[in-house]
Amino acid sequence: MFERSLVLPDPGRESFFLWGPRQTGKSNLLTQRYPEVRRIDLLKADEFRRYAIHPESLRQEIEAEEPTPGRQIVIDEIQRVPALLDEVHWLIENRGLHFALCGSSARKVRRGAANLLGGRALRYHLHGLTAGEIGSGFDLRRMLNHGYLPRMYEARRPRRLLDAYIADYLREEIAAEGLVRNLPAFAGFLDAAALGDGAIVNCSTIARECGVSSNTVKGYFRILEDTLLGRSLPAWRKRPKRRTIGAPKFYFADVGVVNRLARRGDLLPGSELYGLAFENWVFHELSAFIDYREWDGELAYWRLAGGTEVDFVLGDMQLAVGAKASARITRDHLKGLRSLVEDHPEVGRRVVVSLEPRARRTEDGIDILPAEVFADRLWAGELA
């Protein structure tokens, strides 16, 4: 059992949504945080049928119980019955109750014209496991091969589990909800998007590979974001002195899923594919850090039109990070960070996350950190 870094409100204090990809551990986290509250699990067939047919049953059942203002109630997989949110809204306003609403997709909620409680509920996002949550047992190579989902990370051989995860996603999130008309085309898009994980999005190229339109591909990427299977990384374009790239990149939320979709096989240090997975992991750690610590800043990347690039910049240039899965960082690896400071002398910390055995600092102030040291310092609040 891992101790998660996401801090949820005390029982009876707030109403909130807890979003996150499938199998990140949302239900377990809510059970640990609120062990003695009423829990409604919409994955259970009987509960799903009851509330889908008669959503008003939630209000009627609670009204029949002894009134307890400030009481906390957990509803798991809320996106399966969006109409319940109207009842939740009424109970918050009129009975002073608090709800923890858990789900893996807000898309159906919005499509069902259900309200998102009009700002009355906070929003939290649970990511897969981070290095800080795993602690002293953190194994980078295992994480890059197995992924961040707790069950996959702990599995001896996660391949079949990951295949089942992808199949369930297509069957339950996409097909069952009618999110796409052409499921084979979407499945092909998933494979193509995985091959380009961490790359600048080129919808025209993917559209030609999948035999669909560019607008369809753009819609597919929105589905991946809405169902929390991945997220876009925007380009940093404030006050550019030279011409910069403006198109976003896209990263899947779990590198294990990418590995299976792209048929990468076993990833070994020194290979190009290992380097791509390593970059995804750095993105994952930074994204989780921003969400869990409620850091006031956005994550982006910086790239000149000529190709010089910094993988990640946080906020208004408080931190710039390069992800280089190399055991020896050379001058070529530092070009992006050195070019960045020419255009933006206000940049704060500059860091290269690497496979070098020990931390060191260059003469011009770039910190070269082993992956484990980077994770330790990030979660200790020493980098941002």
Q: Say if CB 76 and CB 43 are below 8 A apart.
A: yes
Coil vs helix vs strand at 306:
coil
Residue 360 lies in a domain: yes
Going edge to edge, which strands form the sheet with 319-323? 299-303, 309-314, 319-323, 349-354, 366-370, 360-361
Beta carbons of 243 and 249 less than 8 angstroms apart: no
Q: Of 254, 197, 195, 200, nearest to 23 (Cα)?
A: 254
Per DSSP, 170 falls in state I
Distance, C-alpha 158 to centroid of its chain: 20
Q: Do 270 and 365 have their domain in common?
A: yes
Task: Answer yes or no: is 261 within a domain.
Answer: yes
What values do phi and psi take at 219, rounded to 5? -65, -35
CA distance 81 to 339: 51
Last residue in a domain, options 95, 125, 155:
125
- DSSP reduced 3-state for 351: strand
Tell whether 245 and 108 lie within a shared domain: no
CA dist., res. 109 & res. 192, Å (int):
28
Q: 């030279």: which residue's tokens?
A: 242
| Together in a domain, 39 and 135 | no
By CB neighbour count within 10 A (0-12 exposed, 13-18 middle, 19+ buried), where does 131 fall?
Answer: buried
Cβ contact 332:317 at 8 Å: no
Which of these three, 102, 125, 148, is where a domain ends?
125
Is 5 inside a domain boundary? no
Tell whether 349 and 254 lie within a shared domain: yes
Element (H, E) at 16: strand 16-19
Q: Which CATH number fits the domain that encloses residue 24?
A: 3.40.50.300
Task: Identify whether the C-beta of residue 351 lies closer than 8 Å to the C-beta of residue 366.
Answer: yes
Name the domain count of the chain: 2
Domain annotation covers residue 8? no
Instruction: Looking at the structure, tell me whether residues 143 and 78 fall in a common domain.
Output: no
* 221 and 257, same domain (yes or no): yes
Nearest Cα neighbor of 127 from 260, 38, 29 is 29
CA distance 308 to 304: 5
In a domain, 11, yes or no: no
Question: Do 334 and 232 fall within a single domain?
Answer: yes
**pLDDT, tens digit only, all 384 positions of the chain:** 799 999 999 998 999 999 999 999 999 999 999 998 999 999 999 999 999 999 999 999 999 987 777 789 999 999 889 889 999 999 999 999 999 999 988 776 665 545 566 666 889 999 999 999 999 999 999 999 999 999 999 999 999 999 999 999 998 888 877 788 899 999 999 999 999 999 999 999 999 999 999 999 999 999 999 999 999 999 997 766 667 778 899 999 999 999 999 999 999 999 999 999 999 999 999 999 999 999 988 999 999 988 899 999 999 999 999 999 999 999 999 999 999 999 899 999 999 999 999 999 999 999 999 999 999 999 999 998
Residues of the domain holding 315: 131-379
Residue 1 in domain:
no
Statement to judge: residues 231 and 248 lie in one domain: yes
